[in-house]
């Protein structure tokens, strides 16, 4: 009986192995490739959808403002159906609450130097500019709330909490004059309003903290007390 050469068999085996490797490289699942459980795939998709909705909302809040951004706009910008929004959030206010919860706590500047008040105001302004879309949305939402809610005072005051504590503990309590809580709230309102009014990269943006500090210390006259 003539012997059958094993050459073609080896060649086919090599060819088959190459096809499997090539398919794996191209993302074609092989028979023995483990698949992600269905529940894990759903969780991953839901997490990605939620993140996309939050990112789209933040972008639109920075461009249009909170009040002029609708839920349908957020869903469209995220590339999702409106129903997907309501899967993750009850309404726009709840989405904003999530964005607020992701903000870092207002931090005091480093060791106080000769001009601690200016350092505190600069730190507040930097935080507002860093998180400008969320800060704008929080300010506009608070403005639209009922006056009795106290939100319009509370939101800006939250950004300047380290400044309030500094004013309460500073040794020279006479300057600037006034209740530390009210002074910090007034500074917060000024900075939050300027944060909304001045687009990113606006000329003079780097002079805002200096201007507000001088206003707090010396008033509109600009003269030292």
Of residues 36 and 28, more confidence is placed in 36
pLDDT at residue 225, rounded to an integer: 46
Tell me: the pLDDT tens digits for 111-144?
655 588 889 999 999 999 999 999 999 999 999 9
Neighbouring residues of 183: CB distance < 8 A, sequence distance ≥ 6? 163, 164, 167, 176, 216
| Residue 37 half-sphere exposure toward CB, CA atoms < 13 A | 3
Six-digit token string for 195: 């944060």
pLDDT at 222 > cutoff 60:
no
Give the model's confidence band at 25: pLDDT under 50 very low, under 70 low, under 90 confident, else very high. very low
Of residues 222 and 23, more confidence is placed in 222
Enter the pTM of the model: 0.76
Give the model's confidence band at 178: pLDDT under 50 very low, under 70 low, under 90 confident, else very high. confident
User: Which domains are assigned to the chain?
Assistant: 41-92 (1.10.10.60), 116-218 (no CATH)
Question: Cα(206)–Cα(122) distance, rounded to whole angstroms?
Answer: 9
Neighbouring residues of 117: CB distance < 8 A, sequence distance ≥ 6? 163, 166, 176, 213, 216, 217
At 112, give phi and psi (nearest 5°): -60, 130
Give the model's confidence band at 218: pLDDT under 50 very low, under 70 low, under 90 confident, else very high. confident
Q: Judge whether 91 and 53 are in contact, CB under 8 Å.
A: no
Tell me: the pLDDT tens digits for 64-122?
999 999 999 999 999 999 999 999 999 999 999 999 999 998 877 766 555 888 899 99
């Amino acid at each position: 009986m003539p012997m059958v050469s094993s050459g073609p068999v080896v060649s086919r085996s090599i060819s088959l192995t190459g096809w499997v490797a090539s398919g794996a490289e191209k993302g074609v699942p092989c028979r023995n490739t483990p698949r992600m459980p269905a529940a894990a795939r759903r969780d991953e998709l839901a997490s990605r959808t939620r993140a996309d909705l939050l990112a789209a909302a933040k972008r639109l809040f920075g461009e249009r403002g909170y009040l002029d951004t609708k839920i349908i706009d957020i869903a469209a910008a995220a590339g999702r159906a409106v129903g997907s929004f309501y899967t993750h959030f009850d309404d726009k206010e709840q989405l904003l609450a999530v964005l607020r919860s992701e903000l870092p706590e207002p931090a005091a500047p480093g060791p106080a130097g000769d001009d601690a008040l200016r350092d505190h105001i600069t730190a507040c302004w930097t935080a507002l500019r860093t998180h400008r879309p969320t800060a704008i949305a929080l300010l506009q939402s608070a403005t639209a709330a009922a006056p009795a809610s106290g939100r319009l005072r509370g939101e800006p005051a939250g950004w300047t909490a380290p400044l309030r504590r500094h004013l309460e503990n500073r040794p020279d309590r006479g300057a600037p004059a006034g209740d530390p809580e009210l002074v910090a709230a007034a500074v917060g309102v000024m900075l939050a309003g300027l944060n909304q009014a001045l687009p990113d990269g606006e000329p003079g943006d780097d002079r805002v903290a200096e201007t507000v500090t001088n206003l707090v210390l010396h008033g509109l006259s600009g003269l030292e007390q």
